[in-house]
Amino acid sequence: MTNRPFPARTFLLAAIAVVVLAVAGVYVRDSLFPNATPTAVVVIASTEPTRETTAAVAPTATPAPAAATPAADRATPTRFFTPTPEAGGQVLTIPAQPGEAGWWVSSEERGNHLGDSFLYAGFFDSQVFIAAIRFDLTRMPRGAPIRQATLRLVGLNEQRFDATAGGAWSVQLLSGDTIRDLPRADFQTIFNASAPVSLFPTLDAADLKTAQVNSWELDSGAQTWLSQQVINGTTSVIVRILGPAGGANSLFAWDSGSGPASTGNGPQMVLSLASAPATPPPAATRNFIVVTLPPTPANIFTVAANALTATYVATTVGTNTPTPYNLVTPTPTPRNQATAQAQAALQGLPPVVISTSVAANGATATYQAAYATAVTIITGTLTPIPTNAITPIIVRPTVVPENVLTAAAQIVAATANARANGTPTPFPYSVVLATITPFTPQPLIATSTGTPINGATAVYRAAQATAVAVTTGTYTPLPYIPITPTPLPLLVYLDRVTPTPQATATPTAPATLPRAMIGNILFRSDRQEVTEYYMIDLSVNRLVWVTQGWPFNAAQRNEMRSVSGRYRAFVQNDTVGVPQVHVQDNEFNTTRQITNGSGWSFDPAFSPRGDRLAFVSQNPGNDEIFVINVDGTDLKRLTINSWEWDKHPSWSPDGNQIVFWSNRDTGRRQLWIMNADGSNQRVMISSPYQDWDPIWLK
């Protein structure tokens, strides 16, 4: 018999038969062994040849194992297995919210990269990278037991990752109360925060790959901790990712779920919960730390010694640890009824209430009755006063002596009285110390105290102030006198600002920019902890604080208009909803879309001649700067990076250079400059601050 190869149709029929037999086998197995662990066949979508992976899925009623190996598949979150909730329970899939996931780098003293597409963790170019994600727990019912909890991350970028470099990556859970303000947290805050839960196992280089899913099952201890966090009133949990902190370059990034480079596979926490109790457990009582005030120095020498000690500690050990949020200071004598009431309740003593005075006439009695009726109708019946309540004793404080001699005389008299009659009887608990508010009929003009010329003068003044406070009493606070502030000039050189004044708004912005600003570079910065406007005076190479915002807004509008006024550039969505740069021809009243592609295009800026546009495009996968003719021809790319951002280009008045901002090298937003053809790219200002959105004023 002659051997002939099987036709392709025969192979196809054979493959179909194998699949049918496999399904039938699974059906027979489940019928014969109903208690066996089910097995799911997962088809993985990939650019590689189609393959199949068999993964065991634990029954939903079985608690999660103590530790599970991170998943090594290439599935997307849409292919994740979601557990079936038990009767009366529910399954919560909690994604990372935009702006609540990002990364930090050790070279930056301030700032973060929340909202970026990547979650970097590892070591690169002598810098340590860490990532953190905050998950919102407000949808989780208080007291509902956790049956299963899974954390999932999807790899996004391995361009700076060396699989042969070794190292380990760990994932930890932090209480949301540990870092309440994540956007203002710096690298050290994130890195040093205490983590009560570590997820196992840790990852090694073989577990990390682009589009690969890493998942962790929380063991029973981690589940209990997470449930208790919700019971205690904590509204979120923070996931911290730590990688190698030294050695060879090995930096890996997971998908944050937001940003232009994200594939939409952001972090997820999936919680399978049992039914919540009918009555939620009571919220935990927060403990308070009671701190007593330091005693008043006995003399001037003690004051000087304390000051020198504090200075020595600050210069050798560092500044004192900030006081925790739950710190309270006891009040020796209550200043109001509420404080006296609270102290009585803590000591188990009768409540302190203010008795209602007897009405002086019929009109007052009628008013009091009408008021009580209104309160009853709106708020409800007033709580009756306890039978054992007592009326507070109002004590007026001792009048402050008018001078040091009077104070000294009072001290001598008090000392003699104490020796003759003994220590005075302490105030009863129901005493309320009244506060005397001085009245100043006329405004006072106070002059500021001059700066001490040396350390000895400063120590002397501190000792003198303490002595006056001990003998005479604290200084009378300066009265508040409303005055109209003098508007600041528009431009203030930073080296002349002492102290930092407050900017005032201009009611009506001028139509044109001041001549002194033309030819210089205007930008935004966080140099004063908040976003302000600054200018580089190129004629003297000095930094200028621009105290008002209207010049930047006017300059931004000018950037999108040609010098002749014929063309106007703007950003508008194309037919598929992607933002693109458009140009309006005012002479012929026409509009043309000059950019294309799947990525966003934005930040258009006209050249001084009005024939070219610089703009930013995300078509390469990240933000890069391009130039193009007004009619959409002669497109050229000027910047080429792998992960950095290059944004907000602006032409020089002669058209030979372009200024922009980039986070390359440092990870911070910094001002850069290059030739109009993209050559000679260099940093313009290297600073520890965030500088961005430059405009070369023309």
DSSP SS3 for 476: coil
* SS3 of the chain: helix, strand, coil, percent, to 5: 20, 25, 50
DSSP SS3 for 455: helix
Has residue 206 got a pLDDT over 50? yes
pLDDT tens-digit profile of 386-421?
Answer: 656 665 666 555 555 656 566 666 666 777 776 777
Has residue 604 got a pLDDT over 50? yes
Give the pLDDT band (50/70/90) at residue 77: very low
DSSP E strands in 137-235: the ranges are 146-157, 169-175, 197-203, 213-217
**Distance between CA 222 and CA 200 in Å, rounded?**
11
Whether the CB-CB separation of 211 and 89 falls below 8 Å is answered with no
**Distance between CA 240 and CA 127 in Å, rounded?**
17
Region for residue 115 given its phi and psi (left: phi exceeds 0; alpha: psi -120 to 50; beta: otherwise): left
Please compute, for residue 76, the number of CA atoms within 13 A of its CA located in the half-sphere on the CB side: 8
Give the relative orientation of helices 300-316 and 455-471 as an angle to the nearest 10 degrees: 130
C-alpha distances (whole Å) from 345 to each of 90, 335, 341, 352 are 43, 16, 6, 9
CATH topology (fold) of 491-696: Neuraminidase (2.120.10)
pLDDT number for residue 17: 52
**Distance between CA 560 and CA 617 in Å, rounded?**
16
**Distance between CA 514 and CA 512 in Å, rounded?**
7
The overall average pLDDT reported for the chain is: 75
Whether the CB-CB separation of 147 and 212 falls below 8 Å is answered with no
pLDDT tens-digit profile of 161-185?
Answer: 988 888 899 999 999 988 988 888 8
Bridge partners of residue 119, in order along the sequence: 254
Has residue 156 got a pLDDT over 90? yes
pLDDT tens-digit profile of 111-148?
Answer: 789 888 999 999 998 899 999 999 999 999 999 999 99
For residues 296 and 153, the model is more confident at 153
pLDDT tens-digit profile of 250-301?
Answer: 999 999 988 888 888 999 999 999 998 988 887 655 555 555 556 666 666 6
pLDDT tens-digit profile of 621-657?
Answer: 889 999 999 999 999 999 998 888 899 999 999 999 9
Neighbours of 443 (CB within 10 A): 11
**Distance between CA 127 and CA 251 in Å, rounded?**
10
Mean pLDDT of 92-113: 88
Two structure tokens written together for 651: 């032409």
Q: Which helix (H) or strand (E) is 27 found in, with range?
A: helix 8-32
Q: What is the CATH number of domain 60-273?
A: 2.60.120
pTM for this predicted structure: 0.39
pLDDT number for residue 63: 32
**Distance between CA 220 and CA 225 in Å, rounded?**
9
Provide the pairing of β-strand 542-546 with 491-493.
antiparallel
Determine the residue type at 214.
N
Mean pLDDT of 649-672: 94
By CB neighbour count within 10 A (0-12 exposed, 13-18 middle, 19+ buried), where does 510 fall? exposed
For residues 406 and 570, the model is more confident at 570
Q: Residue 434 — φ and ψ, nearest 5°?
A: -75, 150
DSSP SS3 for 570: strand
Least confident of 25-39, 98-112, 188-202, 538-552: 25-39
Mean pLDDT of 73-82: 47
pLDDT number for residue 570: 94
Two structure tokens written together for 572: 């508008």
For residues 500 and 608, the model is more confident at 608
Two structure tokens written together for 81: 């297995």
CA neighbor of 132 nearest in space, from 31, 244, 241, 249:
241
For residues 118 and 7, the model is more confident at 118
Has residue 608 got a pLDDT over 60? yes
The winner for highest mean pLDDT among 52-66, 293-307, 345-359, 589-603 is: 589-603
For residues 647 and 26, the model is more confident at 647
pLDDT tens-digit profile of 52-63?
Answer: 222 333 333 323
pLDDT number for residue 57: 30
CA neighbor of 611 nearest in space, from 633, 592, 589, 579:
633
Mean pLDDT of 475-499: 60
By CB neighbour count within 10 A (0-12 exposed, 13-18 middle, 19+ buried), where does 201 fall? middle
Neighbours of 513 (CB within 10 A): 18
Has residue 334 got a pLDDT over 70? no
pLDDT number for residue 491: 78
Two structure tokens written together for 672: 């850069």
Has residue 48 got a pLDDT over 50? no
Provide the pairing of β-strand 590-593 with 579-585.
antiparallel
**Distance between CA 273 and CA 142 in Å, rounded?**
11
For residues 446 and 695, the model is more confident at 695
pLDDT number for residue 280: 83
Bridge partners of residue 123, in order along the sequence: 128, 250
pLDDT number for residue 696: 96
pLDDT number for residue 295: 65
pLDDT tens-digit profile of 12-22?
Answer: 445 545 444 44
Give the pLDDT band (50/70/90) at residue 103: very high
What percentage of the chain has pLDDT greater than the value 70? Answer: 60
Has residue 49 got a pLDDT over 80? no
Give the pLDDT band (50/70/90) at residue 31: very low
- Evaluate the omega torsion of the peptide bond into residue 694 and state whether it is cis, within 30 degrees of 0: no
Bridge partners of residue 524, in order along the sequence: 533, 692
CA neighbor of 53 nearest in space, from 41, 63, 62:
41
Whether the CB-CB separation of 265 and 147 falls below 8 Å is answered with no
Least confident of 266-280, 508-522, 593-607: 508-522
pLDDT tens-digit profile of 210-228?
Answer: 999 999 999 999 999 999 9
pLDDT number for residue 503: 45
Domain ranges of the chain: 60-273, 491-696
Least confident of 94-103, 106-115, 208-217, 431-440: 431-440
**Distance between CA 613 and CA 628 in Å, rounded?**
5
For residues 463 and 25, the model is more confident at 463
pLDDT number for residue 525: 93
Mean pLDDT of 495-503: 53
pLDDT number for residue 54: 28
Mean pLDDT of 222-238: 91
